């Protein structure tokens, strides 16, 4: 800011900020949040001056009465008179923070903020406003960055508050984010603008106040420009964070695929990324699935990333929390809202071959044909299918088509002895999520003779002496074909 700060120089600074960041367009309606403190009072007067002399803007003054201090009534009246004097519509709301704290289980600062922003958004909706202007300044930014730093935030947290950020179809704009509070107080005093002093700001009971009153002055003993340094850190981190977001978005578009509401990528492609991009990509996927609830938990992201990188196991499943899960199936890493539910158990007994059997539990149908070895088989079908032929004369009825059971084994063609069906799936690299949709075919002696699409047993093999063949095919229930 210029050394001689007044309303004109402040308006000039805000106009440059607005041009640089596209804070508004001509004839926009802007809801201005005014608490009555010097920062919001200065904001209302600056925007009013800009709307009269530079850019036509429609302003709405919005004030929240928290009802927690004796001087709250006076502050509301101060802001009301100010808005009326400037010819600006005035809106106010009284909020019951203690009741909302009990209802939501949130602390005072978070509960008050949620109720305050809900009112501002509702006011913006009623007036058709393009944005909500907030009076946060450079000192607020320094406090925010330090709070995030102490909390263990990553690069995104170190960017602090954004000058412009979209929330619920409206822009939150902070035209004063590069201006320090001393300049704002100076403008109010030079221009004779009445403002209120919030006595609660002098109590270190709240975390932000403790940062302002205790932590920053302590650090100032070692760096007299600590606030400026933190604001500069936010500027640098903001640019680099934007760059990383673009890189993560590029990786997402190139690597991540969608299938049935699930997201997945190939592990080798992920391993080729820099560790910073690996973390960003996981974060982007989780935020996409969590429908707007931003996930920034470093430990949660590392819980997913580390087993992918270590590559120790080809299949695993992680419950991420929040109804989300991550599953590895060989080279595929899947993200979903919850692990795929296991299909219900089922058993269908056949005393003889039937033309078609629908298996609703897995969305499949089994087609059967008894024919001469020289006859043609089924025509090609759309979708996924699996086929096998058996010597009809050697088959023992009844045939049973059922879901897989623990401990199932099968005598595999070309292999001496039996093998566990679970191991057959593993050898064939059948993903765990797909195994529940594969039935087994059992003959009248209790032998598993076929796992459709995977393996068949040595039982009832077609040979030179075969007189009739049972041809079976398992296909998707929606597949259409001609026999």
* Whole-angstrom distance, CA of residue 152 vs CA of residue 121: 30
Residue 133 confidence (pLDDT) = 97
Asked if residue 467 and residue 330 are part of one domain, the reply reads: no
478 or 198, greater pLDDT: 198
Q: pLDDT at position 71, please?
A: 76
Residues in Cβ contact with 31 at an 8 Å cutoff, skipping those fewer than 6 apart: 60, 62, 91, 120, 123, 124, 127, 129, 131, 132, 133
pLDDT for residue 430 is more than 70:
yes
Same domain as 327, residue 448: no
pLDDT of residue 479: 46
189 or 205, which is more confident: 189
Q: 328 and 361 share a domain?
A: no
Of 160-169, 237-246, 382-391, where does mean pLDDT reach its minimum? 382-391
- pLDDT by residue (tens digit) across 288-324? 888 655 666 788 899 899 999 987 677 888 878 777 8
Q: Do 279 and 357 have their domain in common? A: no
* pLDDT of 428 strictly over 90: no
Q: Which tops the pLDDT comparison, 266 or 209? A: 266
**What is the arithmetic mean of pLDDT over 60-75?**
83
Residues 288 and 437 in one domain: no
What's the mean per-residue pLDDT of the chain? 87
In a shared domain, residues 81 and 137:
yes
339 annotated ligand binder: no
pLDDT value of position 67: 67
Question: CA-CA distance, 227 to 261, in Å (whole number)?
Answer: 46
| 250 domain-assigned | no
Q: Determine the pLDDT at residue 93.
A: 92
Residues 312 and 357 in one domain: no
Provide the pLDDT for residue 8.
92
Whether residue 381 is predicted with pLDDT greater than 50 in this model: the reply is no
Question: How high is the pLDDT of residue 343?
Answer: 56
Most confident segment among 61-70, 105-114, 141-150, 350-359: 141-150
In this structure, the answer to whether residues 225 and 279 fall within a common structural domain is no
In a domain, residue 138? The reply is yes
Q: How many domains does the chain have?
A: 3
The pLDDT tens digits for 205-256 are: 678 888 998 999 999 999 999 999 999 999 999 999 999 999 999 999 999 9
Average pLDDT of the segment spanning 401-418 = 82
What residue numbers bound the domain in which 136 lies?
7-230
Q: Within a domain: residue 136?
A: yes
Residues 352 and 330 in one domain: no
Is 414 annotated to bind a ligand? Reply is: no
37 assigned to a ligand binding site: yes
Do 316 and 362 belong to one domain?
Answer: no
Q: 35 a known binding residue?
A: yes
Q: How confident is the model at residue 480 (pLDDT cuts 50, 70, 90)?
A: very low
Tell me: is residue 393 an annotated ligand-binding position: no
Question: According to the annotation, is 38 in a ligand binding site?
Answer: yes
């Amino acid at each position: 800011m210029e050394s001689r700060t007044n309303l004109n120089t402040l308006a000039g600074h805000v106009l440059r900020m607005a041009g640089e960041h596209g804070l508004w367009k001509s004839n926009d309606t802007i809801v201005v949040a005014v608490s009555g403190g010097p920062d919001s009072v200065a904001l209302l007067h600056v925007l009013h001056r800009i709307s009269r002399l530079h850019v036509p803007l429609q302003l709405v003054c919005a004030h929240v009465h928290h009802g927690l201090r004796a001087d709250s009534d006076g502050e509301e009246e101060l802001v009301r008179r100010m808005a009326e004097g400037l010819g600006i519509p005035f809106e106010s709301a009284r909020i019951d923070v203690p009741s909302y704290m009990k209802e939501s289980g949130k602390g005072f600062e978070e509960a008050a903020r949620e109720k305050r922003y809900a009112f501002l958004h509702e006011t913006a909706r009623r007036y058709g406003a393009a944005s909500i202007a907030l009076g946060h300044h450079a000192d607020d930014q320094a406090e925010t960055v330090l709070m995030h730093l102490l909390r263990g935030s990553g690069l995104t947290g170190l960017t602090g508050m954004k000058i412009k950020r979209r929330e619920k179809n409206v822009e939150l704009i902070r035209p004063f984010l590069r201006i320090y509070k001393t300049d704002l107080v100076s403008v109010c005093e030079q221009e004779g603008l009445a403002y209120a002093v919030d006595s609660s700001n002098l109590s270190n009971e709240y975390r932000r106040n403790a940062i302002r009153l205790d932590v920053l002055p302590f650090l100032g003993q070692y760096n007299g420009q600590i606030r400026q340094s933190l604001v500069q850190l936010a500027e640098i981190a903001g640019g680099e964070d934007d760059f990383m977001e673009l890189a993560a978005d590029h990786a997402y578009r190139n690597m991540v695929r969608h299938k049935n509401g699930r997201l997945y990528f190939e592990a080798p492609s992920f391993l080729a990324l820099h560790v910073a991009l690996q973390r960003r990509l996981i974060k982007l996927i989780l935020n996409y699935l969590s429908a707007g609830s931003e996930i920034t938990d470093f430990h949660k992201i590392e819980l997913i990333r580390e087993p992918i990188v270590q590559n120790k196991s080809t299949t695993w499943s992680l419950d991420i929390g929040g109804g989300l899960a991550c599953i590895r199936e060989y080279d595929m890493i899947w993200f979903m809202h919850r692990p795929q539910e296991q299909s219900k158990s089922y058993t269908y007994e056949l005393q003889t071959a039937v033309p078609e059997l629908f298996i609703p539990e897995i969305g499949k149908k089994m087609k059967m044909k008894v024919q001469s070895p020289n006859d043609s088989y089924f025509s090609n079908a759309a979708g996924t299918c699996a086929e096998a032929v058996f010597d009809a004369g050697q088959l023992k009825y009844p045939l049973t088509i059922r879901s897989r059971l623990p401990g199932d084994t099968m005598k595999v063609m070309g292999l001496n002895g039996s093998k566990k069906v679970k191991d057959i799936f593993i050898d064939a690299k059948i993903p765990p999520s797909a195994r529940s949709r594969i039935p087994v075919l059992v003959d009248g002696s209790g032998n598993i003779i076929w796992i459709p699409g995977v393996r068949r047993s040595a039982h009832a093999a077609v040979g030179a002496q075969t007189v009739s063949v049972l041809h079976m095919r398992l296909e998707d229930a929606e597949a259409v074909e001609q026999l």
